[in-house]
Amino acid sequence: MDTKHLARMNRTRRSWAEPYKIKMVERLRMTTREERLAAIKEAGYNTFLLKSRDVYIDLLTDSGTSAMSDYQWAGMMMGDEAYSGSENFYNLERNVQKYYGYPYLVPTHQGRGAEHLISQILIKPGDVVPGNMYFTTTRLHQELAGGMFVDVIVDEAHDPTFIHPFKGNVDLMKFNKVIAIHSAEKIPYITVGATVNMAGGQPISMANMRDVYTMAHNHGIKVILDATRAVENAWFIKQREDG
Give pLDDT tens digits for 105-150: 999 988 899 999 999 999 999 999 999 999 989 999 999 999 999 9
- What is the C-alpha separation between 178 and 190, in angstroms, rounded? 11
The runs of H, that is alpha helices, within the chain are 3-11, 33-42, 70-78, 87-100, 111-122, 136-144, 172-182, 206-218, 230-240
* d(C-alpha 236, C-alpha 240), whole Å: 6
Measured CA to CA in angstroms, residue 144 lies from 119, 124, 226 at distances of: 8, 10, 19
d(C-alpha 132, C-alpha 216), whole Å: 14
Low-confidence residues in the chain, pLDDT < 50? none
pTM of the predicted structure, to 2 decimals: 0.81
Per-residue pLDDT at 3: 64
Whether domain 111-240 has CATH 3.40.640.10: yes
pLDDT at 15: 67
DSSP string covering 71-101: HHHHHHHHS---SSS-HHHHHHHHHHHHHH-
Residues of CATH 3.40.640.10 domain(s) within the chain?
Answer: 111-240
Decide if 147 contacts 121 (C-beta within 8 A).
Answer: no
